[in-house]
Copies of this chain bind each other. A is one copy, B any other.
């Protein structure tokens, strides 16, 4: 609950921080969105919506991490969306959720009721253009993810995920990932295994291997230190120029 206050403060105080908290609430749509937005927070582990449920709002992640999970009939699960701060949730023009949405950490979202949001969309070309841009970014991210799942080894997969975290973290701090860079892992080993298409045991073993080889250090179980970001990048198997040159 204190998180909500923080988020609201962030929204009103500093344009830069604001940009980080709600990717949509930017001029000139800002004023109109303000009228219909509200904040919700969820504790870690809570399911926000179940696949197939009615979903009467759209939202943007303010702080924390949410994930979209897909389940097969025999119970196998795969993460199909990882929503970090500023990412968007929901599909305009659709009434029900296609995937389970889970708060992976404590989570605050900036929500918009579906009806007024869609009316605003119809009146505001800028809004759907912005949404198109964000969706295209998400599609690009999904395509990187396809390569990861289809062709990368377990070690490359984990290194790639750590790079994603490092870049997001650096973006929030308005720096670049530098030598001796450290951050908090926002996911459990199990959640990471669901992202990577592995078992949690394999994820754990790859952590140990990267640690053994000096690519990372662990402070406790959740804080990661990256002594040399380039060395980590080299472990991803990606083309040297691949991805966003964040």
Contact B139 A128 (CB under 8 A): no
Task: Kindly provide the distance from the CB of A103 to the nearest chain B CB, expressed in whole angstroms.
Answer: 19
Task: Kindly provide the distance from the CB of A201 to the nearest chain B CB, expressed in whole angstroms.
Answer: 16
> Does A149 make an interface contact (CB < 8 A)?
yes
Q: Mark A78-89, 1 if CB is under 8 A from B, else 0.
A: 111100000000
> Does A71 make an interface contact (CB < 8 A)?
yes
Q: Mark A36-65, 1 if CB is under 8 A from B, else 0.
A: 000000000000000000000000000000
- Counted per complex, copies of this chain come to 2
> Does A125 make an interface contact (CB < 8 A)?
yes
> Does A143 make an interface contact (CB < 8 A)?
yes
> Does A136 make an interface contact (CB < 8 A)?
yes
Contact A136 B135 (CB under 8 A): yes
- Chain B residue numbers with a CB within 8 Å of A31 are none
Q: Mark A124-161, 1 if CB is under 8 A from B, else 0.
A: 01001101110110111011111101111000000000
Contact A146 B78 (CB under 8 A): yes
24 A-B pairs with CB atoms under 8 Å apart are: A68-B143, A70-B143, A71-B239, A72-B151, A72-B238, A73-B238, A73-B239, A76-B151, A76-B237, A77-B151, A78-B150, A78-B151, A79-B150, A80-B143, A81-B143, A128-B129, A131-B132, A135-B135, A142-B143, A142-B146, A149-B149, A149-B150, A149-B197, A150-B196
